[in-house]
Structure 1
Amino acid sequence: MRKQTLLWIGLFFMSFQFMNAQGSPDYNGGLKVKFDEEGNKYLRVISWAQMQAGYNFDPATDASALNFNLRRARVLMFSQITDKFLILTHFGLNSLNSGSMSPTGKGEGSQLFMHDVWAQYNIAKDHSVGGGLHYFNGISRLNNQSTLNMMTLDNNRQSWATIGLSDQFARHVGVFAKGKFGKLQYRVAINDVTASTLDARTPDAGGAAVYNGRSVLGSKDSGKAYAGYFEYNFLDQESNFLPYKVGTYLGGKKVFNVGAGFFLHPNGSVIDAGTLTTPDLQGEDVAIFAVDAFYDAPLGEDGSALTAYATYQSNDYGKDYLYSAYGTGSMLYGHVGYVFAGDKTKTRFQPYVSYGNNTYDAVNDDMNTLGIGVNAYMSGHNSKLTLEYKNQKFGSTDTSGLTLQAMIYL
């Protein structure tokens, strides 16, 4: 196993011999079609793919240790014919691998689906409203994370706190408002929650809550969720044109933001307050709150830069809720990365470390997750390799793995 690990690391660095290490000065905002000279009428298209090779140090007895995964394949488009309104469409697939593929490409795991489709109206300078299948989420920066420019290999999963429980892949159908007052940015939303949910369990009499309120109690009592996120930009101002939060600017900005957010789903969870013979299903509110801070800044004129993020999240999914990695309790998470000095037109390296701690009311054990990785940017985020080791401990379970990811976006 030790030899295999060394081989992976060697392949990671050897790969630069076969790739163009120069930047892409011609990117110039990407694929954008302008329909007037001023650029007010346009169509912008973004496409990206993330391919992974993962090595599990503790595979099941009948499972291969080495596996391949098409983590994301996406296309995002947005267009306007006037600066008064905009439409955005985002589709693709996630985690296509040998287990989710189908013989003729017609299985569920092989299918493209809509991630986002919304219409947006600018009602005043710096203020907009809109509606549709959208990503203007509450809670924290990481619950609004872009997958184009993450610093770590992937987002901290527990920060996508409702994914598959009340939404479709971190998106709800609803209405939103977003904007800014000076250095204070805001986004708020009222959404319908899905009738289906990954948590399809049935609550036990006197037992823990189950997060499937709408499917049990109906849309009248459990059909709406409310979300918001507010952040103060102390230094450079970040764009809030789109909802996707940048993971690292690689020293391109000097940013220090402090934020706070929430997600509320009245009667989102269900408990059985009755007996084995006489069920009494009652709703319990889901309430998630978080505070966070984000810092990203150059450390000099030599190209070096620091990225740091920290968040505390309070999770209330109902009485003793625990499902997969989600549960009533609290979460502490942070990561820090450093870009080495160097020519910005050539390959740049960014080692990083991440750590998360989750506590749960239902059990005495904490879940602790440690990630150690390095990014190699051949052309900023447009072409990069990431190698990450991750270890997760939860009770008697201790899992570790090594993942190499190649990403290109245009």
Structure 2
Amino acid sequence: MKKVVLLIMSIFCFFDAFSQGSPDYGGGMKFNLNEEGSKYMRVIAWGQMWGQYNDNLPEDKKAIEFSTRRARILTYAQITPKFLVLTHFGLNSLNADNMSPTGKGESSQLFFHDFWVQYSLGKNHAIGSGLHYWNGISRLNSQGTLNLMTLDNNRQSWSTLGLSDQFARHQGVYVKGSFGKFQYRVSINESMTNSLDSRVLADNVNTTIYAGRKVLGSKESGMNYAGYFEYGFFDAESNFLPYRVGSYLGTKKVFNIGAGFFLHPKGSVYNDGTSNIGEDVSIFAVDAFYDAPIGDKKGAITAYATYQNNNYGKNYLFNAYGTGSFVYGHAGYMFHSEKLTKIQPYLSFASNSYDAVDDSRNVFGLGTNVYLNGHNSKLTLEYKNEKFGESKTGTITLQAMVYL
């Protein structure tokens, strides 16, 4: 009887976590290690290929570019529900400008996105350690890329990527679980020494730089803390894996509200001309996610909105990151069709304000998904317009995606 219960739990986890996929997909590539299926390994592979037109490139650059946006393989295994090990590796944004003749260049190399081990603390709670994606702040800071509704994630929502972590993954310890309709995830992590912000303080007096650990040392700036908490009013979402679903395509009725944070004491450093001063990094967000069939399952709506307050230190501004705040939202509607192919147009908008400058960064997106077989095979066409000060950029991207 115990083995039957374990098998049912295992099947439920697979179905719930991937219910937004193709109706023909089932459990995917799952390898049972015993007859009951309670011991198993699961393998997921996916690729996202882009063709993109950019209207704001230098004259020596071509306007059309082809790239492998993501090429990934993820595996996880359990020998009992008490233990889990997950491995996720791949590459990103491989194009003609960063490829190498023999495939040994930096951009051509596979690297670990995730690698963690997990131990059960009971039916609804677990603790884990490793290079993990159990992030705080908002839903989009833990967005999965298998089932995005928009072409890609809102870049500013991956708020610590390359600053304190490796590609939005921290090395640390997390605890996650649920109490009825309430879910939580909290983590304590070690901050990365080699920040993406490689500016040198000596050359940037009166400038804040995200390099606290590198400049001040691990004792003062070594650790960071994160958490995300949400309440679901309707169908429960799975928290078996950390990757948040972008659109359920009418297979669930979900309405969640959430709030999260990220704290990195003395994560940044400010040079006042005479000494280096540690600046605390603190980020807070609230968000809401709604996804449901409309009418008698004639279609489905997906909507998301968030407000986020970012404090990276005094007047911090670097690439996509800046002290200030932003609002972001997107909404899409999937039209009903008796055929397997379904159409889902969508809109997105972000407005980012920064303390360091008067201008806001405004990003508008308009796109359409064509689901050939759920999220397992889809085409996405998106126009995105971004304006920041005197800079204006328009891009048109066509994506082909398959995941198995």
Within 2, Cα distance between the matches of 1:383 and 1:163?
28
Q: Which residue of 2 aligns with 1:377?
A: 371
Q: Relative to structure 2, which stretch is displaced further, 194-203 or 129-138?
A: 194-203
Question: Residue type of the partner of 2:270?
Answer: I
* Preserved contact between residue 251 and residue 303 of structure 1 (Cα < 8 Å): no
What whole-Å deviation, never above 9, does each CA across 1:64-84 have from its counterpart, x for those lacking one?
111001000000000011111
* Preserved contact between residue 250 and residue 297 of structure 2 (Cα < 8 Å): no
Counterpart of 2:289 in 1: which secondary structure? strand
Q: Which residue of 1 aligns with 2:182?
A: 184
Q: Which residue of 2 aligns with 1:68?
A: 66
What whole-Å deviation, never above 9, does each CA across 1:40-97 have from its counterpart, x for those lacking one?
1000000000000000123211111110010000000000111111000000000000
Q: Which residue of 2 aligns with 1:352?
A: 346
Q: Does 1:317 align with 2:293?
A: no
Of 192, 198, 201, the match for 2:196? 198
What whole-Å deviation, never above 9, does each CA across 1:173-211 have from its counterpart, x for those lacking one?
000000001110000000011110110112367613110
Within 1, Cα distance between the matches of 2:193 and 2:348?
34
Paired residues in the alignment total: 383
Of 337, 345, 353, the match for 1:342? 337
Matches within 5 A, 1:284-303: 284-303=279-298
Q: Which residue of 2 aligns with 1:409?
A: 403
Counterpart of 1:216 in 2: which secondary structure? helix
Q: Which residue of 2 aligns with 1:118?
A: 116
* Preserved contact between residue 72 and residue 92 of structure 1 (Cα < 8 Å): yes
Q: Which residue of 2 aligns with 1:234?
A: 233
Within 1, Cα distance between the matches of 2:42 and 2:258?
29
Counterpart of 2:243 in 1: which secondary structure? coil
* Preserved contact between residue 189 and residue 228 of structure 1 (Cα < 8 Å): yes
- Which runs of 5 or more structure 2 residues have no equivalent in the other structure? 1-20
Within 1, Cα distance between the matches of 2:207 and 2:346?
38
Q: Go from structure 1 to structure 2 and tell me whether the alpha carbon gap of 1:134 and 1:24 turns closer, same or farther (over 3 Å shift).
A: closer
Q: Provide the TM-score with structure 2 as the length reference.
A: 0.93
* Preserved contact between residue 302 and residue 342 of structure 1 (Cα < 8 Å): no
Matches within 5 A, 1:252-331: 252-273=251-272, 275=273, 279-331=274-326
Question: Residue type of the partner of 1:372?
Answer: L
Within 1, Cα distance between the matches of 2:271 and 2:340?
60
Question: Residue type of the partner of 1:217?
Answer: L
Q: Which residue of 2 aligns with 1:367?
A: 361
* Preserved contact between residue 368 and residue 393 of structure 1 (Cα < 8 Å): yes
Counterpart of 2:121 in 1: which secondary structure? strand
Residue 282 of structure 1: how far off its partner (Å): 1.3
Question: Residue type of the partner of 1:189?
Answer: S
Aligned Cα root-mean-square deviation (Å)? 1.1
Within 2, Cα distance between the matches of 1:270 and 1:302?
53
Q: Which residue of 2 aligns with 1:207?
A: 206
Within 2, Cα distance between the matches of 1:103 and 1:86?
39
Within 1, Cα distance between the matches of 2:73 and 2:90?
6
* Preserved contact between residue 44 and residue 73 of structure 2 (Cα < 8 Å): yes
Percent of pairs with identical residues: 64
Q: Go from structure 1 to structure 2 and tell me whether the alpha carbon gap of 1:149 and 1:89 turns closer, same or farther (over 3 Å shift).
A: same
